[in-house]
């Protein structure tokens, strides 16, 4: 996609959003934030991020619907997505939408450093 250093983080929990933005900036990434699914899709089109970190439960448009729209669009169908959510049971709804570079992480099980490491790993492959 873009320069390989731009990450879009989407979460309606502003504390988590800010924390992840800081962690990724410390790693040298250009970080864009969005607090709902509609804003996320708009920012994907405007900024062409290299990777998307996506929450599932959000206002306006949830993460599952964001994934469906990304995968239906030829420009974003291969955008790597790390789904970061508290909802373990949602994985079944997402399996068919996930590509080879996508990951599913559970907020209660994965620390912020784990998320950063996963992003680093995926983007190194690109």
Residue, of 71 and 110, whose pLDDT is higher: 71
Residue 58 lies in a domain: yes
pLDDT band at 100; cut points 50, 70, 90: confident
Residue 75 included in any domain? yes
Q: Is residue 76 part of a domain?
A: yes
Say what the pTM is. Answer: 0.88
84 lies in a domain? yes
Report pLDDT digits (tens) over 23-66: 999 999 999 999 999 999 999 999 999 999 999 888 899 999 99
pLDDT > 70 in the chain, percent: 91
Measured between alpha carbons, how far is 73 from 18 in angstroms, rounded to an integer? 28
DSSP state, residue 85: E
Domain assignment present for residue 116? The answer is yes
Residue 1 included in any domain:
no
Is position 38 within any domain?
yes
**Which helix (H) or strand (E) element contains residue 95?**
none
What local confidence, expressed as pLDDT, does residue 1 receive? Answer: 35
Looking at residue 59, its pLDDT comes to 87
| pLDDT surpasses 80 at 110 | no
Most confident of 56-70, 78-92, 94-108: 56-70
Work out how many domains the chain is built from and give that number. 1
Q: Is residue 97 part of a domain?
A: yes
The CATH number for 14's domain is: 3.40.50.2300
Please give the residue range of the domain that contains residue 28: 6-125
Question: DSSP class of residue 92?
Answer: H
């Amino acid at each position: 996609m873009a320069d390989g250093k731009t990450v879009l983080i989407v979460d309606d929990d502003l504390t988590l959003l800010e924390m992840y933005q800081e962690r990724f900036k410390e790693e040298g990434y250009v970080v864009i934030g969005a607090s709902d699914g509609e804003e996320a899709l708009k920012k994907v089109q405007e900024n062409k991020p290299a990777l998307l970190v996506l929450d599932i439960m959000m206002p306006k448009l949830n993460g599952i619907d964001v994934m469906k729209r990304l995968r239906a669009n030829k420009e974003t169908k291969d955008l790597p997505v790390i789904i970061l959510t508290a909802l373990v049971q949602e994985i079944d709804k997402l399996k068919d939408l996930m590509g080879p570079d996508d990951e599913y992480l559970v907020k209660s099980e994965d620390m912020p450093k784990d998320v950063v490491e996963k992003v680093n790993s995926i983007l190194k492959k690109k």
